[in-house]
Amino acid sequence: MPYEDVDDDLQAQFDDLVARVHNFSHPEIEVVTNFIEHVILEVTANPLLAKIFVAEDRSSLLMEVCTELHGHGDAFHPLIKFLIEVFPYALLWVGEDCPVYAIAGHPVHCIIMPWIAENYSWVFDHEQCIEKPPVYTLIRMYGYRAREGSIGGIKCTADTIKRFFWAYPQAHQQANQITLVNANYEFSFGNEMVIPTGGGYPLHMILKGRRECDFRLFEWLAEQCPDGMLKTDCEGKNPIRHRGSTESLDICKYIIKNCPASIRVTGSREELPIHYLLRHCHHRSVLEVVTLLLREYPESFDLGTVPTNPPPSSVPFIQRAMPNLVEERELKDNANGLKEILEKFKIAVDEGSSNNKSGLVGSAHNVFDSWATSCVQVLDLKKESISRNIEGLIDEFHVDDGPQRL
């Protein structure tokens, strides 16, 4: 309801409430409780107060509570929820910086988002929220590290993210086309919190934050939406290229194991994930990931040069490691071949034994089984030796242990 359309008495009451919200500065819990009770009583007596919006100031009572009372931790969450319950459409007022984004982008209020998704999921189906999904604002809050001295710290946890997606699973498929975060609803964090996002899907965004993504959270999101590991964002990158700092080795391993096709997805300049790592082959986790990529996609050794990145074959570590990996692959293939032949021979023996009572067939099987098992053991020992060689190369080329972004 536009502010101009209500009578003078209601305008005065609305203005008085907003003024008290603006001027509230009492940290004592008793004062906070009394204030909340007073506002609830007034709005209960006249619910129109929750429906008024001021177009010129782009504000409403819900917006004022969300933005002006952010310095009191979660004490005002009952009031925020009450105002939403009275008039949930206020979440979408007014414009692109409406309360749903203010809540999602707040270090403390963001934990209300799962509750909104559980009770008012239709909000996220609104055209505005589809074009600019609030889930990405929430994910950014998870990605920001709580700064020392910030009010209440950042409360968004992996559980907050999971609860939101449980309540609104459509968010897995919502693409964010915004390439730069708007800081208007970042409150006290200001421009320091603005980072380029490059758009993308949840699996991209969860890896782009300042906080290292919890492996279990990434694993859970990937299980809910496995095709997300193949999708590319506005920069032409799939999630493995947003691996973040070096602690995310487990995430890389997970993607390579569960979605090997993702390492063959080319970017906007025809580059592959391995190309992004070539200039950083002096860090242990990078060397380990490069080794995994070459094991899964050995043909990448022969890839050519792409803009700003050299060919893999020109990197000293890869030059030294590749012969070991080729031999390791051959040994693995030979061992698998022997095991397959042995299994087929066993089936043939079982079928032949029923027609041959002399026992010769069974004896032949035992001899072959013993020989093949010995061969496999020898091959396994050679593979272990090669693995040690590769570990030695990683130790040799490793320079430092400090966190590094790629």
Walk along the chain (406 residues) and give the pLDDT tens digit of each residue. Answer: 877 888 889 889 989 999 988 888 777 778 888 989 999 999 999 999 999 988 777 789 999 998 888 666 788 999 999 999 999 999 997 666 789 999 998 888 999 999 999 999 999 999 889 888 999 889 888 887 544 344 447 788 899 999 999 999 999 988 776 543 333 333 333 333 333 344 678 888 888 766 678 889 999 999 998 988 888 877 777 888 776 444 577 888 899 889 988 888 877 677 788 887 887 788 888 898 899 999 988 888 887 776 667 788 889 999 999 999 999 999 888 888 888 887 777 777 666 655 555 555 556 667 777 887 888 888 888 989 999 999 999 999 988 655 444 4
Q: Which residue has the tokens 């986790």?
A: 285
The DSSP secondary structure of 282-333, one letter per residue, reads: TBHHHHHHHHHHHHH-GGGGG---BTTB--GGGSHHHHHHHHHHHHHHHHHH
Q: Which residue has the tokens 């396994």?
A: 380
Cα radius of gyration (the chain):
30
The reported pLDDT for the residue numbered 151 is 46
Residue 279 contacts by C-beta under 8 Å, 6 or more apart in sequence?
A: 309, 310
State CA 42 to chain mean position distance. 42
The reported pLDDT for the residue numbered 149 is 41
Strands 59-60 and 53-54: antiparallel
CB contact burial 141-168 (16+ within 10 A = b; e otherwise): bbbbeeeeeebbebbbebebbbbbbebb
- 381, 383, 385, 386: CA torsion to nearest 10: 170
Residue 278 contacts by C-beta under 8 Å, 6 or more apart in sequence?
A: 290, 309, 310, 312, 315, 318
* Best CA proximity match to 294, nearest among 403, 390, 406: 390
User: 359, 311 in Cβ contact below 8 A?
Assistant: no
The reported pLDDT for the residue numbered 29 is 79
In a 10 Å sphere around its CB, with 0-12 CB exposed, 13-18 middle and 19+ buried, how is residue 257 labelled? exposed
In this structure, is the dihedral angle defined by the CA atoms of residues 35, 39, 44 and 45, taken in order, positive or negative?
positive
The reported pLDDT for the residue numbered 324 is 94
User: 150, 107 in Cβ contact below 8 A?
Assistant: yes
User: 13, 42 in Cβ contact below 8 A?
Assistant: yes
Enter the pTM of the model. Answer: 0.77
How far apart (Å, rounded) are the C-alpha atoms in residues 403 and 406? 10
Interior angle at CA 26, CA 23 and CA 30, nearest 5 = 130
User: 3, 11 in Cβ contact below 8 A?
Assistant: yes
Tokens in use for 176? 């964010």
